[in-house]
Homo-oligomer: A and B are copies of this chain.
């Protein structure tokens, strides 16, 4: 920052939520980063002066037990120890918690209670349908635990989504006791003008004291401007990821957002030297996960398709598995159709997967000839109310195929108590340690938890490249050096098997 001798007036301080420990690597490296690769950055992150540090939730829990043999609760406790001065923040899918179905309220209570107990401070609670009833119980649980309940609005664009609608939704979240409002733009659809209008709308309607956090991905290349406009409209905190773990399907770079405010009426008071150390740390780490890395840098076609990067690669692999890798364009055109039929839900976990998979089915087998159980549930209200009316003809097909009635109540109201049953089932698993945390792991991922419990004692298993593999890759010989390779070599008609491996 250049020196200033005269400050006309005190600039307004903008908070930063650093995302690198959760959404940064989730978006760029398929959530594969091992805890060991984050530990050394924590002291600098803790001292930099962020408003909060997002480090848990989202897909990290799943990834920990599925790919990394890490106990997610242990990860949370480690972050708590390593970041003693920071607000720890998590992303929580409302009544879905971190799983893919609705849970009974008691399970939600237990999860939030245990998360708070293990060190979580700020709970960013959202619902893929933007149905406030799906947030209500989780928000109340956070309040009960004495923690920060951040009511979250997922941003999407459709004929039924308006500035007024978002402002109204913010009011509903404030009514249920939200300590702040997060505006979540998971697909980088938020353009500067709506960013300004919506933030200003919320502030105008509910007062300047309402804290607004803005979360944007950077895939479309427009959202750093949107953050600027949101700040001008009154946003209090914006989300960024350190530059060495930024851009593409990730987020705007922390340093750039800090620097862009110089000379404006806003400042962050972040310690840049600390940020540079964090940057340098992850600059070294990132190449270790190159095989998981997204290749997209900028893609404005998302404005038409609304298909986020992660969803696209999922659909492409589904298509390839069916020998239909050349039909991506048809599926991209079908997604908006399915989304309209479903009443224009935002596309975010799990709605993005549900809509995307149905679009694949429609292209491969004919429109709604075969409906997935999840899409039928969405059509019938089992994921909550949709932003607009759903297509009655498709609802009828869903009823027929799923043999279920449509509902209008809060989906979790139909769920029986399940905690005792979960405890009972978990306690039969080899390696179960008797804690509520383990019951929750089983509750969230019943298919993966058994294997994880059984192998947990073997400790974390990183999927990062080793030093030797990194070196080989740098020399452009990744394939040749990744292990012993046997060749049949024929010279002058005489054949021999020759084995080659790194010396």
Determine if B260 and A222 form an interchain contact, defined as CB atoms under 8 angstroms apart.
Answer: yes
What copy number does this chain have within its complex? 2
Tell me if A276 counts as interface (CB < 8 A to partner B).
Answer: yes
Complex Cα spacing A229 to B229, Å: 10
Tell me if A2 counts as interface (CB < 8 A to partner B).
Answer: yes
Complex Cα spacing A239 to B222, Å: 15
Complex Cα spacing A252 to B489, Å: 50
Determine if B225 and A193 form an interchain contact, defined as CB atoms under 8 angstroms apart.
Answer: no
Within 8 A of B (CB), among A115-166: 157
User: Contacts A298-B243, A300-B259, A479-B476 known; A225 to B222 CB distance under 8 Å?
Assistant: no
- The closest CB in chain B to the CB of A490 belongs to B498
Determine if B221 and A255 form an interchain contact, defined as CB atoms under 8 angstroms apart.
Answer: yes
Complex Cα spacing A253 to B224, Å: 13
- The closest CB in chain B to the CB of A496 belongs to B491
Tell me if A220 counts as interface (CB < 8 A to partner B).
Answer: yes
Determine if B224 and A262 form an interchain contact, defined as CB atoms under 8 angstroms apart.
Answer: no
CB distance from A494 to the nearest CB of B (A): 10
Q: Give the size range of A's interface with the partner.
A: 35 or more
Tell me if A430 counts as interface (CB < 8 A to partner B).
Answer: no
Determine if B243 and A297 form an interchain contact, defined as CB atoms under 8 angstroms apart.
Answer: yes
Determine if B297 and A264 form an interchain contact, defined as CB atoms under 8 angstroms apart.
Answer: no
Determine if B221 and A298 form an interchain contact, defined as CB atoms under 8 angstroms apart.
Answer: no
Determine if B300 and A192 form an interchain contact, defined as CB atoms under 8 angstroms apart.
Answer: no
User: Contacts A253-B221, A260-B191 known; A479 to B477 CB distance under 8 Å?
Assistant: yes
User: Contacts A297-B247, A300-B243, A496-B491 known; A222 to B256 CB distance under 8 Å?
Assistant: yes
Tell me if A303 counts as interface (CB < 8 A to partner B).
Answer: yes
Mark interface residues in A180-204 (1 if CB within 8 Å of B CB, else 0).
0000000000011110000000000
Complex Cα spacing A255 to B301, Å: 9
Complex Cα spacing A34 to B229, Å: 40
Across-interface contacts of A489 in B (CB, < 8 A) = 489, 491, 498
CB distance from A221 to the nearest CB of B (A): 3
Determine if A192 and B476 form an interchain contact, defined as CB atoms under 8 angstroms apart.
Answer: no
Mark interface residues in A323-349 (1 if CB within 8 Å of B CB, else 0).
000000000000000000000000000
11 contacts between A and B (CB under 8 A): A2-B157, A191-B260, A220-B256, A221-B253, A225-B225, A243-B298, A253-B300, A476-B476, A476-B477, A477-B479, A477-B480
Complex Cα spacing A299 to B283, Å: 12
